[in-house]
Chain A
Amino acid sequence: SYALTQPPSVSVAPGQTAKISCGGDNIGRKNVHWYQQRPGQAPVLVMFYDSDRPSGIPARFFGSNSGNTATLTISRVEAGDEADYFCQVWDNSGDHVVFGGGTKVTVL
């Protein structure tokens, strides 16, 4: 079955840029979606179809997807961005949803 690989953690200083990767076989051919989960809260959709932002998500959040890696980039990181981030795709071969293992973003 299709697998997504995320780094367990990313640390970034306030005001700097955080890049969260999501690796998968030819993931560039799939649509990738991203969820933010702040501590103790439910997941929130922050990016869909690789690079589309839902209303209310700041433009500091940017998504890209090519080759074997999709990336969620958060520029000018703020304390409120500290959260777990999960990528997600649809696995056509198995007809099911696949989540990445999640990346914990720590704001130093």
Chain B
Amino acid sequence: EAQLVESGGGLTQPGGSLRLSCAASGFFFDTYAMTWVRQAPGKGLELVAMISGSGDGTYYVESVKGRFTISRDNSMNTLNLEMDSLRVDDTAIYYCAKSVRQAIVVAHYFDQWGQGTLVTVSA
């Protein structure tokens, strides 16, 4: 059974940095695109970044472009999100989610989700 376990969340000040990781198991990791989806307190879901199965394609929501970097290590079945220049409005639970597709520019939905890791940006 597929399993996704996030880590790396925490409290940081505005302008700070954090690195999130997601350990995947139970499926052929390099076959699927992976995403980070965040949920601000009491709010809905927002896809933040996506990376193709091979790692050669990425997508970022406009609000994080130039600040966040998504990457993956297919030899270690790990997904990462490097977050720099963090803002108060980046505060959210960040979920790692598995797409059913491999490439980026195709229709996606997400059949497995991790339990999430909380990122709090506050002075």
B73 at the A interface (CB under 8 A) = no
Closest B-chain residue to A43, C-beta based?
B113
CA distance A96 to B59 in the complex (A): 8
- A99, B111: Cβ atoms under 8 Å? no
CA distance A28 to B104 in the complex (A): 23
Q: Interface 1/0s, chain B 44-79, versus A by CB < 8 A?
A: 111100100000000101000000000000000000
Closest A-chain residue to B106, C-beta based?
A90
| Total interface residues in chain A, CB < 8 Å | 21
- A99, B107: Cβ atoms under 8 Å? no
Taking the nearest CB of chain B, how far is it from the CB of A105, in angstroms?
A: 15
Taking the nearest CB of chain B, how far is it from the CB of A86, in angstroms?
A: 6
| Total interface residues in chain B, CB < 8 Å | 24
CA distance A74 to B35 in the complex (A): 28
Q: Interface 1/0s, chain B 29-46, versus A by CB < 8 A?
A: 000000101000000111
A31 at the B interface (CB under 8 A) = yes
Picked from B44, B59, B115, the residue with its CB within 8 Å of the CB of A86 is: B44
Taking the nearest CB of chain B, how far is it from the CB of A51, in angstroms?
A: 13
- B47, A95: Cβ atoms under 8 Å? no
- Interface centre among A41, A45, A92, by most chain B C-beta atoms within 10 angstroms, is A45
Q: Interface 1/0s, chain A 75-103, versus B by CB < 8 A?
A: 00000000000101010100111011110
- A100, B44: Cβ atoms under 8 Å? yes
10 interchain residue pairs of minimum CB distance: A90-B107, A33-B109, A42-B113, A99-B45, A97-B47, A102-B44, A101-B44, A95-B105, A45-B111, A42-B115
Q: 11 A-B residue contacts at CB 8 Å?
A: A35-B45, A42-B95, A42-B113, A42-B116, A48-B100, A90-B107, A96-B61, A97-B35, A99-B44, A99-B47, A100-B44
Residues in chain A within 8 A of chain B (CB atoms): 31, 33, 35, 41-45, 48, 54, 86, 88, 90, 92, 95-97, 99-102
